[in-house]
Every structure is written in C-alpha cells, then in structure tokens.
C-alpha cells in the first residue's frame, strides 16, 4: 500500500511539474525564468541532434523523451529519469518524443560545482577513497523527494517576491537530494579537491581556455599531477573521449557557432579555431556534423528554431 501511495504521489508531482512548465513556456525553445539558474525547454516536434558544450546542470523531463550522445555513448531519459552533467562536456541532444498536443517539456537547473562542494563540507556525507574517475554525465531514476523539491522551486515563479530568499534554499535541497541519489558518488568525486575526477575537471578547464592552441599533453599531465598515460585513462573515464578528441569537439562546435552567427569564410574560421589545414578542418567538420561547413550552415539557417538542451 505504501509503495502505491508513493507512486501516486510521484505521478501527481510529475503532473504538477508538467503544468507549471507549460505555464511558463508558451513557445518552443529555451525559456529563461526569474530564477537565473533555472530554464525551461519546450519542443512541439522531435528534433535533429543539437550540439553544444553542456555546463554542469540537472535536467528533468516533465513530458516527452530525449537522447543525449556523449562520444559514442547514448543516454536516454524521460519522465521517470533525471540527467546530471557535472563537468563541461561536448554532447549532442535530440528530442525523440514530442507533439503539438504533448510537447517535450524539460527543466534545466544550472549549478556551480563549488555549490556542491560547500554542501558536502557542511553535511555529513561520507566520501569514498580517491579511486578511479567517474563519468561526468549520468542518468538516474527520479524519486519523490527530489521531485517534490523541484516542484517547490518552480512554484516560486508564481510568487516572484519569494524568489530571492527561498530559491537559494530550495536549490541547496535539490543538490542535496542529487548527492543522496544512487549515483551521487560520481558528483562527489568530481568536486572533491585532490580526487582524480577533480584533477581532470581542472584539465578540462585548461583545454577549454586554450582550445585553439596545440595540445601539450605533458603540460596537462603536470597540471593534473599524473603521468601522460594516467591522464589519458582518467580523462576518458570522465569524458568518454581522449584530450585530443575533446579539444576537437570544442573547436568544431565553436567553428559551427562562428559560421552560423557571422558572415565569414569557412577556411578562415578553421584557422581561428586552431586548424592549420582547411581540408582537414572540412573533413573533420563533416565527420561530426554530417555535411561540409557551407552545406551544414545552409541547412541550419533553414531551421534555426530548434531548441537546445
């Protein structure tokens, strides 16, 4: 009986979350809210893969389904799941279930890893000894306590005067619930100073900062206090790709952004993001996005209203 009550309560919270997101999302795309770190995503159609470098965030689908690709790995999630991205990762996301009558509705709550670290320090969370690195993205099953906190956060939008005082408290509770989840250890390891995952997070920030410069593995290994082989192993554990593959994703996604937002020559953009050979740039661009730069941008400009994650 208790299990049935919990299931019923979860479904009620899910229905309320759907109603609230619909209330504050009256058109397709990404909607900002009065809570700076909270965004809603709506799509009344299924989409092609949308590429981006995803920053640390919690994503909860209220209606519909999505698949996220990280390198060669796929992560499906829908109304009974939540997705956590704990470090900057180049991914693609595709809405695979949506319609005009039942649009895809998603909540995205951005967070700073320092918020999580402060919470760990102030709480009685046990932490595992520093061991192998953990993946910087995972999907887990939504539970009633997390869903309840998320609904209370969204409800605050109906009383904007309460947002400055109450929103930070509810966000802390949401992060606390994530840490309590069955994959919370992955998030802990990525923010704990000195852990392998945390050192890889520092390397990721360096690669992002210098993405258009040649990759110097020895310098990155020194930054992480690891050997070159250890750096490669732990980097792939966190990101599902090598440092060079990660840098390539950053370069190509930035090139696509520049081509879409400016009237620039494809070869010039290739040089801007760090490629020395226009042919190599065009070849690797087409391998990732399916078409050479100019053809891809023409296709994108015909359909610029696609939502992002």
- Residue 96 lies inside a defined structural domain of this protein: yes
Tokens for 49, please give them.
Answer: 């893969």
Region 279-288: mean pLDDT is: 96
What's the structural domain count of the chain? Answer: 3
Examine the domain organization and report whether 70 and 31 are in the same domain: yes
CATH number for the domain that contains residue 277? 1.10.10.60
pLDDT digits (tens, 9 = 90+) for 286-303: 999 999 999 999 888 876
- Give the 3-state secondary structure of residue 304: coil
Q: Does 216 lie in the same domain as 137?
A: no
Residue 163 sits in a domain whose CATH number is 2.60.120.10
Residue pLDDT, tens place only, 41-94 = 999 999 999 999 999 999 999 999 999 999 999 999 999 899 999 999 999 999
**Do residues 155 and 9 share a domain?**
yes
Cα–Cα distance between 113 and 120 in angstroms, integer?
11
Q: Which range, of 2-16, 123-137, 146-160, averages the lowest pLDDT?
A: 123-137
61 and 166 part of one domain: yes
Of the three residues 150, 168, 191, the one that is the final residue of a domain is 191
**Domain-embedded: residue 307:** no
Q: Tell whether 267 is covered by a domain.
A: yes
Whether 42 contacts 25, CB under 8 Å: yes
Nearest residue to 89 via CA among 186, 181, 184, 174: 186
Task: State whether 12 and 145 are in the same domain.
Answer: yes
Residues 218 and 280 in one domain: no
Look up the CATH number of the domain holding residue 229: 1.10.10
Residue 287 CB: number of other CB atoms within 10 A? Answer: 10
Q: Which two tokens stand for residue 129?
A: 């000894």
* pTM across the whole model: 0.92
| Inter-residue contact 92 to 49 (CB < 8 Å) | yes
Q: Which H or E run includes 139?
A: strand 137-141
Each residue's pLDDT tens digit, 204-245: 999 999 999 999 999 999 999 999 999 999 999 999 999 999
Residues spanned by the domain of 182: 2-191
**Pair 252, 297: CB distance under 8 Å:** no
């Amino acid at each position: 009986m208790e299990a049935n009550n919990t299931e019923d309560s979860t479904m009620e919270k899910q229905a309320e979350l759907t109603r609230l997101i619909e209330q504050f999302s009256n058109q397709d795309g990404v909607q900002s809210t009065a809570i700076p770190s909270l965004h809603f995503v709506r799509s009344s159609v299924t989409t092609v893969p949308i590429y981006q470098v995803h920053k640390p965030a919690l994503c909860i689908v209220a209606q519909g389904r999505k698949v996220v690709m990280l390198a060669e790995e796929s992560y499906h999630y829908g109304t009974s799941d939540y997705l956590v991205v704990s470090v900057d990762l180049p991914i693609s996301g595709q809405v695979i279930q949506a319609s005009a009558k039942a649009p895809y509705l998603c909540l995205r709550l951005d967070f700073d890893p320092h918020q999580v670290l402060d919470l760990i320090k102030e709480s009685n969370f046990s932490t595992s000894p520093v061991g192998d690195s953990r993946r910087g993205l995972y999907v887990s099953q939504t539970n009633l306590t997390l869903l309840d906190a998320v609904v209370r956060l969204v409800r605050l939008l109906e009383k904007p005067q309460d947002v400055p005082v109450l929103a930070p408290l509810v966000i802390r509770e949401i992060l606390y619930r994530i840490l309590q989840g069955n994959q919370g250890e992955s998030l802990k390891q990525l923010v704990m100073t000195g852990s392998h995952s945390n050192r890889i997070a520092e390397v990721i920030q360096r690669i992002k900062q210098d993405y258009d410069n040649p990759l110097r593995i020895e310098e990155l290994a020194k930054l992480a206090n690891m050997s070159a082989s250890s750096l490669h192993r732990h980097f792939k554990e966190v990101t599902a790709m090598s440092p060079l593959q990660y840098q390539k994703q950053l370069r190509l996604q930035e090139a696509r952004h520049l081509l879409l937002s400016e009237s620039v020559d494809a070869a010039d953009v290739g040089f801007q993001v760090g490629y020395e050979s226009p042919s190599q740039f065009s070849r690797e661009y087409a391998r990732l996005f399916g078409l050479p730069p100019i053809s891809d941008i023409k296709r994108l400009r015909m359909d610029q209203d696609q939502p992002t994650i």
